[in-house]
Amino acid sequence: MSNLWMPFTQMSSAPPPEFAERGEGAWIHLKDGRKVFDAISSWWVTLHGHARPEIAQAIGAQAAKLEQVIAAGFTHEPAQQLVRRLGEKLPASLEQVFFSDNGSTAVEVAVKMAWQYWRNQQDRNRTRFMSLQGGYHGDTLGAMSVGDPDLFNPVFEPLLFECMRLPCPHTFLGDDDVQAKEEAALATARVALEADPEGYAALVLEPLIQGAAGMQMHRPQFVKELVTLAKQYDVLVIFDEVMTGFGRTGTLFAGEQAGVEPDLLCLSKGLTGGTLPLSVTVANQKVYEAFLGDQLGPNDPTFYHGHSYTANPLGCAAALASLDILENEQHYKAIEPWHLSGLERLKGHKRLENLRACGTVAAMEWRPAKGAKYNTAPELKAAFLERGFMLRPLGPSLYIIPPYCTTEAELAAVYDVIEEVLSA
Ligand SMILES: *Cc1c(COP(=O)(O)O)cnc(C)c1O
């Protein structure tokens, strides 16, 4: 009998899935009549709210006109426009837009580009990658290799390539040690680079917020100093803004706050407003030009990578409609103060620590009390769901990343339910 095998789910013990019927604003309406507040933007993708009519109309109109065309040798209006619109928003140095389908492939493309960049210049030394502890870059093998192995099943380890991982100076409200943690992390980076000054191909990181590590946050000045250091050693810098892109951190891109520009930038999740799978890897001219040359010569520099649905017109049309909403509404700028006042209420709760916020994202760590009702993240998740809230703690980290249409009152209700459940 056929069955639906769910992602990240132990099927032998999982409760049956909730049946979602329709979405509106920040709410998912279930088939049985209940409704659930989507406090995690359905895995961090839903930007403006569910089923936004402007995006639905854009997808429908595009589907009736041109639903798909091969992306090698052909192009179309939505892809051309999206390249132009992204160019207007990104740092001027990021000009070359390569499409793929999801966050993992966007990173996979960046990693392969960084690798081939050096091979195309006949460099045999730069074979190593550097990333941050707690980093998550997707679930395909290359993206897993640069991610933190603690976030994956160790069964895959023999298939992954080696990566040097620096400590990441996580911080939170009222953190007195942040400076010392940053200096220690930078010192580790300096030692590694000095020991092998021409050995690293690229540094990969999620700027400002490490999502899958539990929405762990670090300061923009750390990103700036680390990137500056990497560039002193000519290491290519890859920003994975798959989650942080499109306003999540309070600015359009997290990199803006650090004031440094990567060589390669990965975007997905919010790119289509959370409606269709689409991603881009944007390269600067330096990277792009290393791939130009004689295809028939002894060292063909061409980037041989592509996917069936590369630059899918429906995805591009959805992205354009989403960018219009983002520009017109700019709601993402309003949410951080609401988080801060919610966190202020939870401050001092004996089961909560490391309270933090960055733009539209807030997070904290929780400790089960002795003999408490909720001792694990799944139990906590079930307790929230019972009360009509979709919250999905990652281990001890409890985080909120709501769609931008969320009102101040709706967000305050999320903090109410956290308080209620943790006091139960
Ligand atoms: C979600 C995520 C990915 C992977 O994206 P998928 O679309 O799930 O493949 C990569 N990097 C970061 C930072 C992410 O949050």
In this predicted model, what pLDDT tens digit does every residue of 299-351 receive, in sequence order? 999 999 999 999 999 999 999 999 999 999 999 999 999 999 999 999 999 99
Mutate to test the pocket of ligand 1, among 111, 137, 152, 276 (most ligand atoms within 8 A of CB): 137
Q: For the CA atoms of the chain, what is the radius of gyration? A: 22
* 297 against 126, higher pLDDT: 126
Q: Which atom of ligand 1 is nearest to the CA of 241?
A: 13
Mean pLDDT taken over the chain: 97
- CA 401–ligand 1 middle distance (angstroms): 15
In this prediction, residues 73-91 reach a mean pLDDT of 98
How confident is the model over 216-245, as a mean pLDDT? Answer: 98
Q: Nearest residue CA, atom 11 of ligand 1?
A: 137
For residue range 358-390, list pLDDT tens digits in order. 999 999 999 887 777 788 888 999 999 999 999
Candidate of 40, 136, 205 to mutate for ligand 1, largest count of ligand atoms within 8 Å of Cβ: 136
Extract the tokens encoding 75.
């192009």
Quick check: 408 pLDDT over 80?
yes
- Nearest CA residue ID for atom 8, ligand 1: 103
Structure letter (DSSP) for residue 29: E
138 lines ligand 1 (CB under 6 A): yes
Contacts 24+ apart (CB under 8 A), 121-127: 121/290, 122/299, 123/198, 125/198, 125/199, 126/198, 126/199, 126/200, 126/201, 126/235, 127/199, 127/201
How close is the Cα of 138 to the center of ligand 1, in Å? 5
Provide mean pLDDT across the span 246-263. 98
Indicate if ligand 1 lies below 6 Å from the C-beta of 41. no
Choice from 111, 243, 394 to test ligand 1 binding pocket (greatest atom count within 8 A of CB) = 243
Rounded CA separation 57/34 (Å): 27
Q: Quote the pLDDT of residue 276.
A: 98
CA distance 18 to 3: 15
Residue 194: pLDDT above 80?
yes
Least confident of 15-29, 219-233, 337-351, 367-381: 367-381
Atom number in ligand 1 closest to CA 138: 4
Instruction: Please list, in sequence order, all residues whose beta carbon lies within 8 angstroms of the beta carbon of residue 275, skipping any fewer than 6 positions away.
Output: 52, 55, 56, 59, 318, 322
Can you give the pLDDT at residue 375?
A: 81
The yes-or-no verdict on residue 61 having pLDDT over 80 is: yes
Residue 117 — pLDDT band, cuts 50, 70, 90? very high
pLDDT per position as a tens digit, 136-169? 999 999 999 999 999 989 999 999 999 999 999 9
- Ligand 1 atom, smallest distance to 279 CA: 7
Q: Is the CB of 108 under 6 A from ligand 1?
A: no
pLDDT at 381: 94
- pLDDT at site 372: 76
The residues that bridge with 99 in the sheet, in sequence order, are 280
Quote the ligand 1 centre to 106 CA distance (angstroms): 9
Report the percent of the chain where pLDDT is more than 70. 100
CA of 419 to the centre of ligand 1 (A): 30
Instruction: Burial-class residue 190 by CB neighbours within 10 Å (0-12, 13-18, 19+).
Output: middle
The token pair that represents 145 in the structure block:
């290799």
Residue-level pLDDT at 182: 98
**Structure token digits, residue 104:** 């993992």
> How remote is the CA of residue 50 from the centroid of ligand 1, in Å?
20
pLDDT on residue 371: 76
Ligand 1 lined by 251 (C-beta under 6 Å): no
Contact between 255 and 91 under an 8 Å Cβ cutoff? The reply is yes
Q: How confident is the model at residue 398, as a pLDDT?
A: 97
Burial pattern 258-279, b for ≥16 Cβ within 10 A else e, equals bebbbbbbbbbbbbbbbbbbbb
DSSP3 helix / strand / coil % (the chain, rounded to 5): 40, 20, 45
pLDDT score of 229 more than 90: yes
Tell me the average pLDDT across 86-96.
98
Q: Which atom of ligand 1 is nearest to the CA of 244?
A: 13
CA–centroid distance, 243 to ligand 1, in Å, is: 7
Phi/psi at 111 (nearest 5 deg)?
A: -65, -45
Give me the DSSP letters along 96-118.
EEEEESSHHHHHHHHHHHHHHHH
CB 415, CB 342: distance < 8 Å: yes
Task: State mean pLDDT over 42-50.
Answer: 98
Q: What is the pLDDT of residue 347?
A: 95
The per-residue pLDDT for 368 is 82
Q: How far is the CA of 78 from the centre of ligand 1 (A)?
A: 24
Q: Is 243 in the pocket of ligand 1 (CB under 6 A)?
A: yes
Q: Which candidate, 331, 418, 344, places its Cα nearest to that of 374?
A: 418
Place 10 in a pLDDT band, splitting at 50, 70 and 90: very high
Please report, as a single letter, which amino acid is at residue 244. Answer: T
Ligand 1 atom index nearest CA of 211: 15
Q: What is the pLDDT of residue 370?
A: 77
Q: Judge contact between 116 and 303, C-beta under 8 A.
A: yes
